[in-house]
């Protein structure tokens, strides 16, 4: 993010970013960086991959949706060249598949610098699955990423960004398990950031916390609320207050990646502004 915008966030904790200026030039800091994005073939993950590529990074696109992955790869090849991306069919619930994906990324694109733990689901009826994908897999991918990136074991450090949600900071009506997973992601991110500082991993950890975003997660929400489906109208009232574009969330990712003063932060991305969450200080 531009230095004056970063300064605005630091001084006010809030910055408006919609339509104020032409697109900024690419961030040199991301040039030829190697990024792994999970849940990369649609929605927020796709917007993350696109902004990384526009800023000169190489991107491994990990997802369970092979058909969408192959067609996205074709689109991105035309825009950025085939050597800039890799699509890898990978279920983040599988340790074996994640290990293979990191190995293939390092072999084809180079050592991993950036990980975006973004894959997620919302299903209060299949709540164990929601915990498995949204929280357990974030821990699993992070620990495998550490084996590649940790400066204390020969890696070269980097940045790990976890897609949480505003529902990781405020309870989301009708989605108690989804809310719990996103609170878990925020807590894990902050704890890993503190560990990284204490143990010298050379890795920054931050959480991205968008409000409602126009993606498939918002579709057919009624069917995925399980025993809380009677509250779908109340949830819809929140949704109707405003829905973000995926590109706006990707701008938040860029801020967390390029602002190297940020570690252990949760960036709220809302329709009117972005602002860092103020957590209580424990003394």
Ligand X SMILES: CC/C=C\C[C@H](O)/C=C/C=C\C=C\C=C\[C@@H](O)[C@@H](O)C/C=C\CCC(=O)O
Residues annotated as part of the active site: 178
Tokens 């390029």, residue? Answer: 258
Q: Which helix (H) or strand (E) holds 147?
A: helix 137-149
Q: Which residue has the tokens 């897999």?
A: 137
Q: What is the residue whose two structure tokens read 């299903």?
A: 123
Q: Which partner from the list ligand X, ligand NAD, none does 235 bind, CB cut-off 5 to 8 Å by kind?
A: ligand X
The C-alpha angle 185, 187, 188, rounded to 5 degrees, equals: 65
**Binding ligand X by CB under 6 A: which of 211, 251, 252, 255?**
211
**20 φ/ψ angles, rounded to the nearest 5 degrees:** -85, -25
Q: Write out the binding residues for ligand NAD, residues 223-282 only, by CB under 6 A.
A: none
Nearer to ligand X, 13 or 26 (CB): 13
For ligand NAD, the binding residue among 17, 87, 183, 212 (CB under 6 A) is 212
Span interacting with ligand X, options 14-22, 83-91, 159-167, 244-252, rule CB under 6 A: 159-167
What does the alpha-carbon distance between residue 41 and residue 272 come to, in Å, rounded to a whole number? 27
DSSP string for residues in 243-273: -B-HHHHHHHHHHHHH-TT-SS-EEEE-SS-
Structure tokens belonging to residue 34: 């190697």
Give the nearer residue to ligand NAD in terms of CB position, either 150 or 190: 190
Interactions with ligand X, residue window 39-98 (CB under 6 A): none
Out of ligand X, ligand NAD, none, what residue 36 binds, judged by CB under 5 to 8 A for its kind, is none
Stretch that binds ligand NAD, among 49-57, 116-124, 196-204, 253-261 (CB under 6 A): 116-124
Question: Of these, 133, 135, 144, 267, which contacts ligand NAD (CB under 6 A)?
Answer: 133
Which three-class secondary structure state does DSSP give residue 76?
helix
Give residues in contact with ligand NAD (CB under 6 A).
38-39, 41-45, 63-65, 90-93, 118-121, 133, 163, 165, 210, 212-213, 215-218
């Amino acid at each position: 993010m531009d230095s004056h915008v970063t300064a605005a966030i630091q001084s006010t904790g809030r910055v408006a970013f919609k339509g104020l200026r032409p697109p900024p030039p690419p961030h040199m800091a991301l040039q030829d960086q190697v990024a792994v994005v999970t849940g990369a073939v649609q929605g927020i993950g796709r917007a993350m991959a696109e902004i990384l590529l526009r800023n000169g990074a190489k991107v491994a696109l990990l997802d369970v949706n092979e058909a969408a992955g192959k067609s996205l790869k074709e689109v991105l090849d035309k825009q950025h060249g085939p050597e800039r991306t890799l699509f890898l069919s990978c279920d983040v619930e599988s340790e074996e598949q994640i290990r293979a994906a990191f190995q293939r990324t390092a072999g084809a694109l180079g050592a991993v610098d950036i990980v975006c733990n973004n894959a997620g689901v919302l299903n209060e009826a299949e709540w164990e699955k929601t915990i498995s994908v949204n929280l357990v897999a974030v821990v699993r991918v992070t620990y495998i990423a550490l084996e590649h990136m940790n400066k204390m074991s020969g890696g070269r450090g980097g940045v790990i960004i976890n897609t949480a949600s505003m529902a990781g900071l405020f309870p989301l009506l009708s989605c108690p398990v989804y809310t719990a997973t996103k609170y878990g992601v925020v807590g894990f991110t902050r704890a890993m950031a503190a560990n990284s500082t204490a143990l010298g991993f050379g890795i920054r950890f931050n959480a991205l916390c968008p409000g409602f975003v126009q993606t498939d997660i918002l579709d057919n929400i009624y069917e995925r609320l399980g025993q809380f489906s009677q509250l779908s109208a109340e949830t819809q009232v929140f949704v109707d207050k405003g829905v973000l574009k995926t590109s706006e969330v990707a701008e938040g990712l860029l801020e967390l990646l390029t602002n190297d003063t940020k570690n252990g932060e949760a960036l709220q991305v809302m329709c009117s502004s972005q602002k860092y969450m103020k957590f209580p200080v424990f003394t």
